Structure 1
C-alpha cells in the first residue's frame, strides 16, 4: 500500500527544527527590541 499522506515525515530530527525556531525567535525579539528603542528615542527627541 501507499504511504499515508497525512503523516509528515522528514529526514531531519526535531532537534534541528527546535534550534532553527529558537534562533528565529531570538532574532525576532532582538529586532523588536531595537524597534522599541528607536521609537522611544525618537519620542524623547520630539518632546525635547
Structure 2
C-alpha cells in the first residue's frame, strides 16, 4: 500500500441539532489525522479534485 495515495476531503458543512452544533466530518478527519499510519493526504475540496 506504500504506493497508493489516498486523499481525504471533508465537505461536511455541519448542522445544528437541538441547539448543538455538530460536524461529524470534522470529527472523522481529526480522528484520521491522529491515527494516520497509511500516509493519507488531507486536502481542501478543490485541491483534492485536482491532486493526482
The higher relative CO (CA closer than 8 Å, separation ≥ 6) is in 2
* Normalised TM-score (structure 2): 0.30
* Normalised TM-score (structure 1): 0.32
Higher strand proportion: 2
Higher helix proportion: 1
